[in-house]
Amino acid sequence: MTSLISKINHRLAAIGDPLRFPLLLAIRLYWGWQFFITGKGKLQNLSGVTEFFASLRIPAPHLNAIFVSATECFGGLFLLLGLGSRFFAGLFILEMVVAYGTSEHAAIRAIFSDSDQFVKATPFLFLFASVIVFAFGPGRYSLDALLSRKVTSAPRSRA
């Protein structure tokens, strides 16, 4: 029985492993675009974002509106390219945790009693995609991977 389970697991891994890098690419492209569009919209309406942040009692609402908007806009572009992916994914994770903490109190309170409310909250998918990129990296099809290959394959000079 153990041998059969092992064989099935091995075959499923052989099917699933090659999907890892196209999946990471798709996540980066889709969510990078979503962050870019969201950030661009916020940059175009900084006064509205500032007012919203002020209503949530976020300190220095205008400064935070600029920071969040610029991070989402430009970080989204970097995520699309797969450049600095883990750095920007880390920033996005922090932003989404703050978004939950400031505007999704009911979703947080219901995380165990009504998990649908938590996963339906606006920040959830942004947070989920960011955690995936942070944990697994940008994948083979990224500028991060290309630069990493160039750094590791560059000849070393001796001093």
| Domain ranges, ordered by start, for the chain | 20-138
Q: What is the pLDDT of residue 155?
A: 65
Closest CA to 87 of 144, 43, 157: 144
Which residues of the chain carry a pLDDT beneath 50?
Answer: none
Q: What is the pLDDT of residue 158?
A: 57
Q: What is the pLDDT of residue 156?
A: 61
Q: What is the pLDDT of residue 131?
A: 97
Exposure of 40 in the CB half-sphere (CA atoms within 13 A): 8
Spatial separation of the C-alpha atoms in residues 128 and 159, rounded to whole Å: 46
pTM assigned to the model: 0.86
